[in-house]
Amino acid sequence: MQATQPPAQQTTQKPIPQTAPQAMQHALTVDVEDYFHVGAFVKNIDINDWDNWPSRVEASTQVLLDLFAEHQTKATFFVLGWVAQRYPELVRAIHAQGHEIASHGMSHQLVYGQSPAVFKEETLASKKLLEDIIGERVNGYRAASYSITPNSIWALETLIEAGFTYDSSIFPVKHDRYGMPGAPLQIHQARVNGGAAITEFPLTSASVLGQRVPAAGGGYFRLYPYWLTQLLLKKAAKELNQPFVFYLHPWEIDENQPRVEGASMLSRFRHYNNLDKCLPRMNTLLQQFSFTTMAEVIAQYASQNTLEACDYAQFRG
């Protein structure tokens, strides 16, 4: 199926004050999936019908690649296996421009909704697929919708067995779809029942009035006013004394994507709100913070800090 090309988008905006160079480099990440893959539409779009929807992931990802090139910034692209199967040249293009390729699983199903056997099969398949495309080892993983939760702690063991060296799937906040309140906030070593460990880079949150508030990007980046995102990211980096992780999806810069009929009001609000503002905001963000790949941030941080270990068996639901 040929991908539908979204209209060119403009990043032009009013000049913004330039900040002093940041000594700290943060992790810039992109979850490469299409608009019809999102969990918000799972009740409206059957997985068997995905090929019948016009794909826009190639063109939207290219817009991000162009923006990153303009700012001479590298990122980690967590690529969905479904996308890689259909658009291997997109994966090669991302890799050829010096970005890191990591795994976003195969079918964008919630981990806690899968059996351990199915999760293992899909995880191994997605890792091998990406490695065959780029000819290099894939070290990083991120679960669909951050769905490694107290009900799917076992997934960490699978990732270790599969040979991943780091994960970025755990969001230490309360949320109706994901989250693990009480989990470590800083980069650390995650293990289950005292077994082998994997480096975990939790999604960034900040403390506000005693509560953990998500600050890592995505829908929060679109829903919050930009000044609040900037404030929360700076606050999180300062209070944790480590780089933050920022994430985005290609569909979040595509205001002309098809609208999904029958979705709930909450799902429509989360998915469509401020799509037109996302790309200009990204342009601003790249001017105000210094970014690199997740693997590079972890390596730099681990070289300067002893990573604490956490046994996630204590969070098991």
- Say what the alpha-carbon torsion angle 208, 212, 215, 221 is, to the nearest 10 degrees: -80
**How does residue 178 score in pLDDT terms, banded at 50, 70 and 90?**
confident
**Residue 265 included in any domain:** yes
**Residue 12 included in any domain:** no
**How does residue 62 score in pLDDT terms, banded at 50, 70 and 90?**
very high
Structural domains of the chain, count: 1
**How does residue 179 score in pLDDT terms, banded at 50, 70 and 90?**
confident
Taking residues 123-128, what's their average pLDDT?
98
**Residue 238 included in any domain:** yes
Q: How many CB atoms lie within 10 A of CB 27?
A: 26
Inform me whether the pLDDT recorded for 257 exceeds 70: yes
* Gap between the Cα atoms of 106 and 246, Å rounded: 22
Inform me whether the pLDDT recorded for 270 exceeds 60: yes
pLDDT of residue 10: 45
**Residue 20 included in any domain:** no
Report the share of the chain in percent with pLDDT over 70.
93
**Residue 169 included in any domain:** yes
Which residues pair with residue 119 across a beta bridge?
none
**Residue 19 included in any domain:** no
pTM: 0.91
**How does residue 140 score in pLDDT terms, banded at 50, 70 and 90?**
very high
Helix segments in the chain, DSSP class H: 57-70, 81-86, 88-96, 116-134, 154-162, 219-223, 226-240, 265-272, 275-288, 294-304
Residue 127 amino acid letter = K
Tens digit of each residue's pLDDT (9 = 90 or more) over 63-76:
999 999 999 999 99
pLDDT of residue 121: 98
Taken in order 179, 77, 269, 185, is the CA torsion positive or negative?
positive
**How does residue 170 score in pLDDT terms, banded at 50, 70 and 90?**
very high
Rg (CA), the chain: 18
Inform me whether the pLDDT recorded for 309 exceeds 80: yes
Domain that holds residue 289: 25-315
Inform me whether the pLDDT recorded for 85 exceeds 50: yes
Q: Residue 210 maps to which CATH number?
A: 3.20.20.370
**Residue 184 included in any domain:** yes
Q: How many CB atoms lie within 10 A of CB 201?
A: 28
What burial class does residue 276 get, using C-beta atoms within 10 Å of its C-beta: 0-12 exposed, 13-18 middle, 19+ buried? middle
Secondary structure letter of residue 11 according to DSSP: -
**Residue 61 included in any domain:** yes
**How does residue 23 score in pLDDT terms, banded at 50, 70 and 90?**
low
pLDDT of residue 7: 44
